[in-house]
Amino acid sequence: MNLVVSIGNTTVRFAAMEGLKCRVLQAYSHTNLYNEDEVQTLVYKFGREFQKTCAIASVVPSLHARVDEIVTKYFNLKVKYLSSADIHLMKIFYYPQDSLGPDRLAGVLGLRAEYGYPSISVDCGTATTINVLDRNGDFVGGTIAPGVGMSFQALSSRTALLPQVSSNKVAGFIGQSTEQAIVCGVYWQSWFGLIETIKNISAIFGKLENVVFTGGNALNFSKLIREAGFKIDEQLVLKGLSRFLHYHDECY
């Protein structure tokens, strides 16, 4: 069993992974990470039967010290932060390589291990990223755009009169109030932007093995995703971290 941690902009997820299977999962807000009672619950829930190293993908460096403390003190494990420098099982066509976000890299590793290639992952989080594996299973880049929540916030913070909206309920294509118009605009432009981008990437590689959505905001599009013949995998990043640990242990 492997312990892996995904440190995102909104939540921190701890997972006990057996191969690509998630056996136990616990998510915390950044604030709750400093609550000792919450940490004790985590330790009780997970136990201590893990391999020697914990793999972490992080986009929030300010939380590293706290996560390191939890992993080393309570689980007695070494810490390994995922970076492109550690990846040798595929080529990474991204420059400079160290600018590739660890969350994107972990998601691509999960995509490669579980779904084959050529494939695309779409991570709908604070930002929405598209990540592409070519016919050789190599990472060839992708796109980064504002996520749904960030788009709502930008409209409110950068205008004088538009309200803050957080609803993800869309009724049709035409909003009949300002709030509805914002929801429709953000939701449908996000969705059709993704579809058009996926279509154009598909034209480059021909038939794709899979298009896999992940991230907290993917559930906003769940019906559309399934209707389009795509997949949803909320644990793609965790699977990638588990695959990385398996590969890392083989090499070291």
* Preceding omega of 163 cis (within 30 degrees of 0): no
Beta-bridge mates of residue 237: none
Contact by Cβ (8 Å): 186, 216: no
C-beta separation of 80 from 53 below 8 A: yes
Active site residues: 103
Strand extents, DSSP E, 118-172 = 119-124, 127-133, 139-146
Going by C-beta distance under 8 Å and a sequence separation of 6 or more, which residues neighbour residue 203? none
d(CA 128, CA 116) in angstroms, rounded, equals 22
